[in-house]
Copies of this chain bind each other. A is one copy, B any other.
Amino acid sequence: MATIKDVAKLAGVGNSTVSRFINGSGYVSNESRKRIEEAIKTLEYVPNESARAFKLQDNKIIALFLPCSFNPFFSELGFYIEDELDKNGYKMMLCNSGGKIEKEISYIEMLKQKKVEGIIGISYNDIDEFIKEDMKIVSIDRHYTANIPCVSSDNFQGGVLAFQELYKNKCKKIAYVGTYCENIQTEISERRKGFVEEAKKNNMDVIIFLEPDPIRDLHSFLNQFLILYKDVDGVFVENDDIALHLYNKARDNGLSIPKDLKIIGFDGQIKHKLLSPYLTTIMQPIEQLGRVSVNILLDMINGKQVNRSTVLPVQFLKGDTTL
C-alpha cells in the first residue's frame, strides 16, 4: 500500500505538504495540490488516518441524533458536527429520530456495546431514563436528569432581545408563538421565559400561544392565532420556520408587515440572507454549537474533565419584519 512518502515523491513535493493537503490544514499551492491529487490517484493512495481510524477494534464513530435533518437549522448544525468530527478522524452516523424513540434507544444500545464511541444529540423524545451519567453523550438544547454535558445558545437572552425590539417598535399587544414538549424540558422554553420576564420588567403582558411539539397542523394553528388575536401587533415566534409561515399566513389575511404586525424569529440559519422576507431574528451561533459539542465529546472520550453546561451567545439580526 502506498504511503504519504510515495505520494510526496511522485508529486515532487515535501512530505509535510502532502500531510497539509490530506489534513486540510495550512497552505498548499494550487500547483502542488494538483500534482498531489494526481499522485494520489496514480498510487491509489488512501490517507493513513482514515485507514487507521477504521480498524474494527477502534470504531471511531459518533452518532448524531437530529429530530429531522431537513429542518435547515438541524441540517446546518449537522454539517458542522460532521466537519469537526472529520477533522478529528471520526465518522458520523446520522439518526433522524423525530417521534421515533425506539431508534434512539437502539443507538444508545450501540453505545453500550461500544459500536459507537459517543452520541451527540438533539432529542425531543422521552429518553431520559435511558441516559446514564457515565455515557459519552453530549446533549444540545436539553438537560437530562443524568448529569451529562449540555450545550446551548443563550435562549433566555434571545427572548430578552426579542422583547426589546418589539418594545422599541412601540408594540401595544405582544405574543409569543411556539411549542412545548410534554414530559421533557428543553432549553427552547428559555426563549419564552426571557421574553416574558423582560416584558414584565416593562409592565407588559404577553399572550402565550403554544401547541405540543411537533405541531401537527401548522396551518390551523397559525390561522387560529390570527383569528383569536386580531389586535396583536408584535409576535416573537419560537423559530424562523414557523415565523416565515406566520408571515405568509398574515399576508394572506391582508395584514401588512411590519406595519400591522411585527414578527421576530429565532435561529438565523445560513439561508437567512437568501430568503425574502429578510426575517428579523435572533441568530444562534450554529457553527460554534456544532464544533463545541464535538470537542466536549472528544474530551470526554479522552478522559478529560468537561463543563456540564455551556451557553453560547446569541445575536440580534435586524430584518424587514420589524421597523
Contact = CB atoms under 8 A, between A and B. Distances in A.
A11 to B, nearest CB: 14
Interface string A54-89: 101000010000001110100110110011001000
Nearest to A83: B96
Given A69-B82, A70-B76, A82-B69, A54 B110 contact: yes
A91 interface: yes
A276 B276 contact: yes
A148 interface: no
Interface in A260-298: 270-271, 274-277
Most buried by B among A37, A50, A75, A247: A75
Interface string A104-135: 01100110010100000000001001100000
A61 B271 CA distance: 31
Interface string A40-59: 11001011001100101000
B94 A46 contact: no
A100 interface: yes
A150 interface: no
A251 to B, nearest CB: 8
How many subunits of this chain does the assembly comprise?
Answer: 2
B72 A69 contact: no
Nearest to A47: B102
A306 interface: no
A22 to B, nearest CB: 6
A74 to B, nearest CB: 8
Given A51-B109, A54-B115, A101-B37, A244 B274 contact: yes
A109 B51 CA distance: 8
Return the 6 tightest CB-CB contacts between A and B, nearest first: A50-B106, A75-B75, A46-B109, A70-B76, A70-B79, A70-B75
29 contacts: A22-B102, A37-B101, A41-B130, A44-B130, A46-B106, A47-B105, A50-B102, A50-B103, A50-B105, A50-B106, A51-B106, A54-B106, A54-B109, A54-B110, A54-B115, A68-B79, A69-B79, A69-B82, A70-B72, A78-B94, A83-B96, A86-B96, A86-B103, A94-B94, A241-B274, A244-B276, A245-B274, A248-B274, A276-B277
